[in-house]
Amino acid sequence: MIVGNGPVPDSAAAEIACADCVIRFNDCRSSQAGERTDIVAVCNTGRPARMMLGRAVSADAPTGLQSSAWADHPAVVGATGLWCVRNPVLFAALRAPLAITHPELDDFCDDETEAFEAFARASGKTFRVLDGQTQRFVEQILTGFSPAPYIVPSSGIVVIADVLGAHPAADIALAGFTHVGWDGHPFAAEAQLVERWVAEGRLRRLGAAPAVSLAVGS
């Protein structure tokens, strides 16, 4: 079960709770206290990362983590795994071109992966950085939907592609995905890509009958 930060109907709670693995994103806005979360996938660069970390990363403590609202969120506390979606090498390569095309995003590629790793280790969670090739794959396939100019794919579509690649025969369900938000993501094209995967039977939107009944491993 991959749960975005959009609205999730109350009727979905039981199915989410019964999934073999529940993945949520960033500040887990779709989760209420006590709801199931196994993996939190985070944007580990720039402002979103610093907000989650409570701006704990500094020159004096480059891998430290102070208490923050994010770290104390029940979904984050209860999760057993933490994934960093933005591959540091890939985002480092984006810094120079973005300085020309989007100078206002001067901190977009600032990497906070070490702080998230330190938090994961300190809190007994497994830790993983997604392979940059997954994002490259998503970028390539999105070209078929003629997206408007964008900066990077959203974390949601990268995680969906990652899980599909790792578990091609599993029953992978989505909830809380509205495919709207920051204009630096190609949401219209991402929505079309997800619908293609749904039509192919590789994904289902929550509420649709599963084509298969295999577990999604964590």
pLDDT tens digits, one per residue of 3-30: 999 988 888 888 898 999 999 999 998 8
pLDDT at res. 172: 96
- CA-closest candidate to residue 207, choices 167, 175, 165: 175
Using alpha carbons only, give the angle 76, 128, 156 rounded to the nearest 5 degrees. Answer: 70
SS3 assignment, position 65 = coil
pTM value is 0.88
| pLDDT digit string, tens, across residues 79-123 | 999 999 999 999 999 999 999 999 999 999 999 999 999 999 999
Place of tokens 């993983």: 128
Which residues on neighbouring strands pair with residue 204, listed in sequence order? 173
Does residue 63 surpass a pLDDT of 70?
Answer: no
